[in-house]
Structure 1
């Protein structure tokens, strides 16, 4: 099996052997000595044996076997090869948190599209879907008792096109939301693929959709669901009644999502006061009382939250270093490295070029342990997370283009140990993995640049 690792992440240890196997049945063995989520796949002409210490390891071992059967094994139906090369693969992940954020608040993705995205995460051995469900531009989760959150907050009458400072809008209504049953289905579907869905209800900023539904949450002034992108100065009114409202919201969320971790946002709060930090602390305390842990973006460190709160270090790596030193667990997700909505080249055909220039090679070179982080603090790094914000990704085709193949590179970063060679990775990607994405129907960005139908001529961006 020389050169194995085509699907990515590449395995920890590969021992090739001569010959091929055409065995259809896989023998499963429990092996408590293997690491969590790890597996050992032994292939001989006579037998295929998969050993694992847990169900996740068995799942990942079967995913590796699917890789070995060739690209056709990734089609919904058809003609996968029965032949697989002989040898031994001993494999386990580097990090326990291998995540990807999908923003469905800015541009809604249907339930079927979310389930497809879950399948793509599972195929890359990622295990956390951070589900960004609420923002200024839309509220996407049904909350019993508060029907206006979806009847009003899930819909905006138009959207900004691209990124600019002018009044131009597309005049096209947009919206959608998930029922409680939809979300339970997504959670169960993800769990079958060993993916934890971490919901995010963003407070106290990024809340205009909620305020449009219930103006008292923002002080009483009527507003519409926001049609712009960017940082919104409109904030929740940090009163006891607003805290009570969100306690009920989070209780409803906890009934749907079994995840220990619940994301609460906390980012981009212009003009924040001590009262807003107090509001965030009350939410954290409420989740703790319910046996859960809050995940907040790194701005919440300014309010010195309880150390039970996990910090998503997004504005850079410095906050992750600081949070770990203060006793917080950390998920590394710096915008300078792993924001997949940011532009992939400076070519004029690059659609809606926003943010930093981050190529496939840049993502592959990312190291989740900051150089400034002392060795003693490294155990606080749970892992890392790629971010797919969707202000400028208004269809599943645009999500595919932004996420892939850079998410493939990220998957290898958070799974594999040891040195990384981009040329070697690029060869595996081109020869083995892009055909799998083709079989899966993923409309990824070609390495040479966008197809003509993937461009967006005349739509302004905002490069950094």
Structure 2
């Protein structure tokens, strides 16, 4: 027999139903001094039309409880009262999200459309996340996402109890963060003349300029908005590769005399920054402005896909190698990453980088490895005592195709269905008890070469991101049939109410296809 709590997604650790319901009406009060209380009041006031003030005959009460673990919560619902205990402010927010889910899809609307009584099922829910890092990367460098749409994406992350937004701010195709010391990074580097439509090797160039950037105040606003929803924003400034936008703005950062524009293609770019003292100082200054804006302990320095040809042919790079006693250009890559890591450590921060940083010399103290090319780099790093976030492209790259269906838009990468994402296990088999503790969690990726609008982001992300959310929040044991039932019967209607243009389980709507735009399946 199904429990009324079986509608929750992600699935809670424990839920026990009892008889009866708690009614929400004009006599219901919502109390507590936590930020989650005001958030819930605002959301439910819009959806229900109920005031939910601090006085009434039936009370929903939020409070902190030191016996509950961080990010965890407890719901006790009776016919006359709802008591919410939380381990911290984040846990209180997740409890509020669960209460909204229990009220039904109409509770996700911006105006009242529900007829009849609003009720919560009686019982007890005990819940806490399995992993502390439940992340999603959003690439705003390839295709810029306006600030209002970033807020919307944060709301969708919060609705799924995800807690890390990895914001990919710079790449060859665009620089998206205002840096006051270097204004050309945005005046030049934030836009490109055209873009490749479809996969780079077979796609066609359009002639539509694309660009945009966030001011520092925009980013402070994004950070505050995320923080109020339990989400940490981890910024990424990608070095020393994926830097053509920066070189276009400041040619002295490059290794050649070629005049470069912001790149209009996709893929791995041979242009990388040089390793002069001036370039090191330049990016130290950039990171100084990054840490002014982003309070996160962790800053991403990228470090992925760094072609070495230009350094091999550069007298300046070869002289730097000789000065540092380095024998390969790969070691020079590691040297540059360590310059940034030491600089950030002096400012109380530590780095996360893509798994190539584990192959180019000793990892800086406290560095986190984002294992993206597979799981082995994460396994090796964890066994060596380094913290790891699992994000293998074979499993959790949500820009990759969802089906072999001929109408699947711009089919790139691996075939990863909803069921595949739900089956992903972030802790690799045989890792060992000590190394397991180094796995902070996992992160899904939304790279946007082929996701050029919020509608395309919705299609790629959902409902697979809903499945991923359960993978990183809920206990390891999974029931795919039960998940699919909860998703279909209860969660997709919530996404409908939120206006999410997700991919239907049976395939794309006609307007979600991209006929004639080539992809590159793997």
Shorter-chain TM-score category?
A: over 0.9
Give secondary structure in 2 for the equivalent of 1:22: strand
What is the match of residue 42 of structure 2?
Answer: none
Distance 2:429 2:203 in 1: 43
The higher radius of gyration belongs to 2
**Pick aligned residue for 1:122 from 137, 147, 158:** 158
Alignment of 1:12 onto 2:13: yes
Residue in structure 2 matching 1:263, options 286, 290, 300 = 300
Shift of 1:166: 4.8
- Is the 8 Å Cα contact of residues 307 and 327 (structure 1) preserved in structure 2? no
Residue from 278, 286, 289 that aligns with 2:335: 278
Residue equivalent to 1:105: 141
Q: Is the 8 A contact 1:7 1:124 kept in 2?
A: no
Residue in 2 aligned with 1:227?
Answer: 264
Specify the alignment match of 1:356 in structure 2. Answer: 414
Query: How far apart are the structure 1 equivalents of 2:203 and 2:133?
Result: 41
- Report the counterpart of residue 514 of structure 2 in structure 1: 456
Q: Does 1:300 align with 2:357?
A: yes
| 1:4-83 alignment runs, 5 A limit | 4-23=5-24, 24-25=28-29, 26-79=60-113, 82-83=118-119
Question: Is the Cα contact below 8 Å between 1:238 and 1:276 reproduced in 2?
Answer: no
- 1:277-356 aligned within 5 A: 277-303=334-360, 304-356=362-414
Name the TM-score, length of structure 2 as normaliser.
Answer: 0.87
Contact 1:143-1:249 at 8 Å conserved across structures: yes
Once the two structures are TM-superposed, the CA of residue 258 in structure 1 deviates from its matched residue by 0.2
CA distance, structure 2, for counterparts of residue 228 and residue 164 of structure 1: 6
DSSP-derived class of the 1:83 partner? strand
Matched position secondary structure for 2:177? coil
User: Which ranges in structure 1 are unaligned for 5 or more consecutive residues?
Assistant: none
Q: Which deviates the most, 413-422 or 127-136?
A: 413-422
Question: How many angstroms does 1:167 deviate by?
Answer: 7.3
Match of 1:195 among 222, 231, 254: 231
Is the Cα contact below 8 Å between 1:108 and 1:177 reproduced in 2?
yes
Q: What stretches of structure 2 of length at least 5 have no aligned partner?
A: 30-59, 309-328
SS at match of 2:437: helix
Selected match of 2:428 from 362, 366, 370: 370
Q: Which of 136, 157, 166 lines up with 2:172 in the alignment?
A: 136
Question: Matched residue of 1:144: which SS?
Answer: coil
Q: How far has the Cα of 1:79 moved from its partner? A: 4.3
Counterpart CA distance in 2 for 1:299 and 1:305 is 10
Which of 213, 236, 245 is the equivalent residue of 1:209? 245
Cα shift at 1:6 = 2.8
Task: Say if 2:167 and 2:236, in contact at 8 Å, map to a contact too.
Answer: yes
| Number of equivalent positions | 464
Q: Deviations over 1:61-101 (max 9, x none)?
A: 11100000110111122246521111111000000000000
Deviations 1:19-74 (A, max 9, x none): 11114331123211111110100111010110112111111111100000110111
- Per-residue deviation, residues 189-247 of structure 1 (Å, max 9, x unmatched): 00000100000000000000000000111135320000000011111101221110000
> Comparing 312-321 with 30-39, which one deviates more in the overlay?
30-39
Q: Distance in 2 between matches of 1:235 and 1:340?
A: 27
1:147 corresponds to which residue?
Answer: 183
**In the alignment, which of 427, 434, 441 is matched to residue 492 of structure 2?**
434
In structure 2, C-alpha distance between the alignment counterparts of 1:167 and 1:351, rounded to whole Å: 13
Q: Matches of 1:103 and 1:349 in 2, distance apart?
A: 24
| Residue 13 of structure 1: how far off its partner (Å) | 0.4
Residue aligning to 2:441: 383
Displacement after TM superposition at 1:18 (Å): 1.0
Runs of 4+ in 1 over 4 A off after TM superposition: none
Give the TM-score normalised by the residue count of structure 1: 0.98
Counterparts of 1:97 and 1:213 in 2: how far apart (Å)? 35
Match of 1:171 in 2: 207
Structure 1 residues 181 and 202, CA gap change in structure 2 (3 angstroms)? same
